[in-house]
Structure 1
Amino acid sequence: MPNDIPPPPPVSFQQSVARMVDRALDYVKLEPGADRAIKTCNAILQVTFPLKIRGEVRTFTGWRAVHSTHRLPAKGGLRFSPSIDQDSTEALAALMTYKCAIVDIPFGGSKGGLCIDPEQYSRDEMELITRRFARELARRGFLSPATNVPAPDVGTGQREMAWILDTYKNLYPEDINYVGCVTGKPVELGGMPGRLDATGRGIHYALREFFRHPDAVAEAGLSGDLKDKRIIIQGLGNVGYHAAKLLQEEDGARIIAIIERDGALVHEAGLNVEEVHQYMQRTGGVQGFPGVEWVEPGTMALERDCDILIPAALEGVIHTGNAERIRAPLIIEAANGPITFEADEILRARGTVILPDIYANAGGVVVSYFEWIRNLSHMRFGRLERRLDEMRGQHIVSALELMSGEQSPDWLRASLLRGADELDLVRSGLDDAMRVAFQEIERMRQTHDRAMDYRTAAYAVAISRISGASLDLGAY
C-alpha cells in the first residue's frame, strides 16, 4: 500500500548545500569530475580535550573544517553551540567558500565549532575553554593569519576572538602578523570599525540594491522602494538587530514582527527595534514587551502576511513543515541555511523570490577581509590621504567662492572639507561589494533569460570563479 511507504529520511544540512550546488551545475560547464572536487571538504579536524572545571574533569569536542584552499587563508566563523556537529561544520565551511567567491574576496572557505552551551559557564570558565580550543587548533595548523582565520559566529564575539588572538600570540611570538590570526576582534586589539554591524549592514545594502532594479522588484510582486515595506525579522541577535534597525531608521520600513526564542512580538503599525532590543538586554527575551500582540510559539509568525521575511537566526527554520504557509513574496537569508533544500523547492515553485545566504549575509566576511588586510599592512585605512583630501576640499570651496563671489553654504563646506575616516571607507567598500555581487548574479540570470532563481545564479557565479581559479592553479 502506498500509505505504508515510510517518508524519505530528512536531508542533512551538508546534503542540502550539495543539492543546491548540483542545481547550479546544470548551468556551468566543468571538467569531468570537477564538480566532486568543488563540493568535497578538503580537511576536517576533530579535537576532544579535557579540562577540570568546578572540581570535575569535563570533556569538550570541537571541529574545524576547511572546504577549499584554492585561495588562502581559509576563512570562516567559530561557533559555540550545543547543536554543532561535524555535518553542520562541513556544510557551513562550504557556504563560506561560495560566499567568498560571490563577493570576490580572496579567501577559501572554513568553519569551526565547539559543542558547548556558553550560557552554562562563567566568563572565566569560557576563557579557559576558548584558549584551550585555540591551542588545539593552532598546534594542528588550523589557526594562522596565513592559512586559517576564524571570526565570530553564533555563541562567540569580540571577547572570544581576543582570547584566541592572545593565545596565538603567546604560541607564536615571532609571527609579526599575529594580529591577523582572527577577525572580529575589539578595535583596540586591531579590529576594524564597522565589523560588529557588518553582516546586518550588508543585508541592508543587499536589499537597497535589489530595490534599485525595478524588474527584480516587480518579479517579487512588489513595487517602489523600501519605505513602508512590512518586514518580519526572525532573530534579533547581532545580525537581525542591525539589519532591522537600519531598515527602519534609514529607509522607513515597518518591522511588523520580531521572532525570538521565547515567542514573537507582532504590531502592524511597526515595532520600535531599538526599544525591543533594549528590553531584551534587560530581560533576556521579548515576552512581556508592552503594547503589542504576543505570539507563541514564535515560529508561527513566520507564516504571517508581510512584504519581506528576514530569517536571521539558525539554519533550517523554514522546512517542509511550514514552507507551504510562508506568505512573504521576498525572503532574504540573513542566517546561514535558514531554508532547507526541500523547502526551497516548494517556495521556488510558488514564485517566492529568495536572496540567498551565500550572497546576502556576506557583509561579515567582506569587512573581515578589510580587517585582515589592515592587520597585515600594519596601517589603518585612510591614514595617508585623509588630510590631503581635506586640503583638496578646501581648494574646491575656495575656488567656488572666488568664482561666485558668495560664501558657500555650511552644509556644502562641511561636506567638502571632511576627509573620509576609516569607518567611511569600510562602509563604502561594503556597499560596493554588495552592489557589484548582486549585479553579477543578475547578469548570470540574464545570460539564462532569467530562468534561474537567485540562489542558483549565485552558486553558478561562485562555482565559475572557484573552478577558474583551480584550473589556473593546475589543481585539476
Structure 2
Amino acid sequence: MLKQDKKPSFLENVNMMVNDTLNHIDIDPNIAKILKTCRSVLQVKFPIKLKGEIKIFHGWRAVHSNHRLPAKGGLRFATNVNQEEIEALASLMTFKCAVVDVPFGGAKGGLLIDPQKYDEESMEKITKKFARELIRRGYLSPARDVPAPDVGTSQREMGWILDAYKSLRPDDINHMACVTGKSVDHGGIKGRLEATGRGVCEALKEFFRHPEEVQRAGVNKELSDQNIIIQGFGNVGFNSAKALFQNGAKIIGIAEKDGGIFNDKGIDIKELEKYQLENNTILNFPTTKTIKNSADLLSYDCDILIPAALENVVSLDNADSIKAKIICEAANGPITYRADQRLREKGKVIIPDIYANAGGVTVSYFEWIRNISHIRMGRLNKRYEEHRGEAIFKAIEQISPNKLPKDMINQLVYGANEEDIISSGLEDTMRVAFQEILEMREKYNLNNYRLATYAIALKKIEKSYLELGI
C-alpha cells in the first residue's frame, strides 16, 4: 500500500485502476499478472552531429501487449519524457484499443527533447535517426509496431519517419502503413488530425442520448444546454472545442499553459481559431476575460470539464475545488487514482480516457487499413450509391405527381466519399463502445464508467490470451 504522503506516479495510478477493476470482476489470476506487465521496453541513446557539435539523445519505445498486432501508440517529443511514463501510456493504449474493438496491441514511444530549441532541418535529422534506431530493432513496421503523432509531434514528423522506413525497407510494399497520422498527400486520411477531438464530442453526444445517464449526472437534457470548460487547446483540446461548438455546445472557458480565457455567455470557437492563427495565443481574445493562472479555470462553475492536455492535472490537491458535474477525459490519464475516488465520492460523473480519448486510434486504424489495402475508402461503392439513388428518385417521380425538394434529391443521389465513411465509422465506434460500457456496468453491478470500461478491456484481452495462448 502506498503511503498517503507519497504521490503515486503515472504508472502507479494506472496500475491501481487496473487493480481496482480486478477486484470487481473475475479474471484468471495468471492473466492478471500479464495485464500489469509491459512486454518489452527499448531504450536508445544515439549521437547526432548538429551544427558541428555532437549531441546525445535518449529515447524509448514500450510495447505493453502484442496479443494483437501491430502494436499501436504515439511518439512523444518532450522534456519530461521518461520510461515509466512511456510504459503507463503503452498500457493505456492496450486498454483503449480493446474498448473500441481496434485490433491492435498497445505501445508508446518518447524522445527526451525540447523541439522548440531546434530548427526544422535539425528536427528532421533527429527524428529520422530515432526512427532508424527503432526500425533496426524491430520496433517500427507496418506489421509489428506502428507509431502516430503525440505531444510534440505532428504530420511532419510522421512524414519523416515514413521516409526513413522506406529508405531502410524499400521492398516493403506496405511501407505507407508504418506510421499513421500522416498528411493526406503522403498516405494519410482525411479526419485523422481532428479524430481524437471529434471522438470526445461523439462520446459526449452518445452520453446525452441516454436520458437515465444524464439524469444521474444531474445536468440538463441536451448537450447544447451545457456550459463547458476545456483545459488545453492543442490538437485535442482545439478539435474537441470545434466539434462541440459545431454541435451547439457552449464553451465558456479555455485554459492554456500561459493563461486562460473565460466568458460565461460562450466563446465563438471559429473566431478564436482565426485569432489564434493571427496572434499565436488565445489570451486577450475579444469579449473574454483573461485568466492569469489557467489552473484556476478547473475550479470554475461549469457542467462539463474536459482535461485535454497532459496526465495528472487533477489530483487530490485540486479535486475538492472542481465544480463540474461531468468530467470527460480527453487527455491520457488526466485524473490521478485518488482524485478519481474523491470525485466519485462527491457524485461526479467521469467519462474515462480509454474510451473518450479513443477517437485518434480509431481513425488511425482506418488509415492503416487504407494503407494496407492500397485503395481509397469509397472508391468501389460511391458511384454505385449515386446511381442507386438516381434510380430511387426516378421511381418516385414516376409514381408521384409531387416534386421532391432539391435538397432531398441531393441526399438521395449522394454517394459517400472517404471523409463521410471515416466520420460514420468514428461515430459508430464511439456509440457502440458506450453501449458496451453500460452493459458491462450492469453485468458486474459496477458503480462507475471507469470500472466498466477497464472491465471491458481486461475481459477482451483475457479472452485473447486464454484462447490463443500466452
TM-score (norm 1): 0.97
**Aligned position for 1:405:** 401
**Aligned position for 1:277:** 273
Q: Offset of 1:245 from its aligned partner?
A: 1.3
Tell me which amino acid in the other structure corresponds to 2:24.
Y
Tell me which amino acid in the other structure corresponds to 1:95.
L
Q: 2:319 matched to 1:323?
A: yes
Q: 366, 377, 381: which is aligned to 2:362?
A: 366
Give unpaired runs (5+ residues) of structure 1: 1-5
Distance, in Å, in 2 between the alignment partners of 1:35 and 1:235 is: 34
**Aligned position for 1:10:** 7
Cα pair 1:214 1:223 within 8 Å, conserved: no
Cα pair 2:261 2:284 within 8 Å, conserved: no
**Aligned position for 1:51:** 48
Q: 438, 441, 465: which is aligned to 1:470?
A: 465
Cα pair 2:220 2:226 within 8 Å, conserved: no
Q: Offset of 1:7 from its aligned partner?
A: 5.1
Q: Offset of 1:474 from its aligned partner?
A: 1.7
Q: 412, 418, 443: which is aligned to 2:414?
A: 418
Q: 31, 38, 42: which is aligned to 1:34?
A: 31
Cα pair 2:74 2:147 within 8 Å, conserved: yes
Runs ≥4 in structure 1, deviation > 3 angstroms?
none
Q: How far does the alpha carbon of each residue in 1:419-474 deviate from its partner, in whole angstroms, 9 at most, with x for none?
A: 0000000000000000000000000111234x421011100000000000111112
Distance, in Å, in 1 between the alignment partners of 2:396 and 2:57 is: 67
Mapping of residues 53-72 of structure 1, within 5 Å: 53-72=50-69
Distance, in Å, in 1 between the alignment partners of 2:38 and 2:20 is: 19
Q: 144, 148, 159: which is aligned to 2:145?
A: 148
Q: How far does the alpha carbon of each residue in 1:350-377 deviate from its partner, in whole angstroms, 9 at most, with x for none?
A: 1110000000010000000011011111
Mapping of residues 71-470 of structure 1, within 5 Å: 71-250=68-247, 252-449=248-445, 451-470=446-465
Stretch moving more, 28-37 or 45-54:
28-37
Cα pair 2:330 2:356 within 8 Å, conserved: yes
Give unpaired runs (5+ residues) of structure 2: none
Distance, in Å, in 2 between the alignment partners of 1:177 and 1:67 is: 24
**Aligned position for 1:3:** none
Distance, in Å, in 2 between the alignment partners of 1:286 and 1:247 is: 18
Cα pair 2:272 2:282 within 8 Å, conserved: yes
Identity over aligned residues, as a percent?
54
Distance, in Å, in 2 between the alignment partners of 1:216 and 1:81 is: 38
Q: Offset of 1:248 from its aligned partner?
A: 1.2
Tell me which amino acid in the other structure corresponds to 1:457.
A
- Corresponding residue SS for 1:396: helix
Distance, in Å, in 2 between the alignment partners of 1:277 and 1:315 is: 25
**Aligned position for 2:17:** 20
Q: How far does the alpha carbon of each residue in 1:93-141 deviate from its partner, in whole angstroms, 9 at most, with x for none?
A: 0000000000011000000010111111111111010000000000000
Stretch moving more, 282-291 or 462-471:
282-291
Cα pair 1:261 1:285 within 8 Å, conserved: no
Distance, in Å, in 2 between the alignment partners of 1:126 and 1:389 is: 45
Distance, in Å, in 1 between the alignment partners of 2:408 and 2:279 is: 45
Tell me which amino acid in the other structure corresponds to 1:294.
T
Distance, in Å, in 2 between the alignment partners of 1:275 and 1:208 is: 23
- Corresponding residue SS for 1:151: coil
Cα pair 1:97 1:110 within 8 Å, conserved: yes
